[in-house]
A = this chain, B = another copy of it.
């Protein structure tokens, strides 16, 4: 995958996660500073965790202002009254929007984790690629939910981490078969698709309370 195409891909994920952070902050009634901080944390958190795990210091987010600028611009646009109104007044819209943008972020960042791990450690095992991918994918959202005092999505949305894991698996299997570009796109789309299917068909799982 060319660097330019991948940068665009990363920026899509950054916008999506920034928007999910901003939406969470607005629903909690935070002011514009809180909205910006939570957007920035959600959008850059996964990448920082990824780079720390791979020993790439300082993390890319601290070297290239583009991610922070895009995340903050997204937060400011989300805070414009007409946009904000949708997030805070339409609960059904909010839930659907969150599913969409959080899934895009999950898909994109799972893939950036795998790609960065491949580049930093060419001899990485599939296990390392999978694990780094999932942790990178879920990291930003976990930081968003913990800072906002919400139950982490990853613990309450059944299938959340599994969607990330299956998308990561598909990308790793396809990596040398069809090239990194298509492997990344298919992996990210699979994550999006799996989360939609889980939401549409209410895939349910045994709960501890059923015992």
Contact = CB atoms under 8 A, between A and B. Distances in A.
Interface of A: 25-38, 48, 52-55, 57-59, 61-63, 65, 68, 79, 81, 84-85, 87-89, 121, 125, 127-128, 131-132, 142, 146-149, 151-152, 154-156, 158-162, 204-209, 211
B155 A34 contact: yes
A19 to B, nearest CB: 14
Given A59-B53, A128-B62, A88 B211 contact: yes
A85 B211 CA distance: 6
Given A31-B207, A89-B211, A146-B147, 15 more contacts: A25-B155, A26-B211, A28-B208, A29-B208, A31-B205, A33-B158, A34-B155, A35-B208, A38-B155, A53-B57, A55-B55, A68-B131, A85-B211, A142-B147, A146-B146
A84 B208 contact: yes
5 contacts: A25-B208, A30-B207, A34-B158, A52-B57, A88-B208
A79 B208 contact: yes
Nearest to A35: B208
A128 B146 CA distance: 25
A159 B57 contact: no
**Taking each of A79, A131, A160, which has the highest tally of chain B beta carbons within 10 Å of its own beta carbon?**
A131
Contact of A211 (B61, B81, B207): B81
Nearest to A40: B161
A53 B159 CA distance: 31
A167 to B, nearest CB: 15
Given A62-B128, A131-B68, A132-B62, A206 B32 contact: yes
Nearest to A132: B62
Given A30-B155, A63-B125, A127-B65, A58 B132 contact: yes
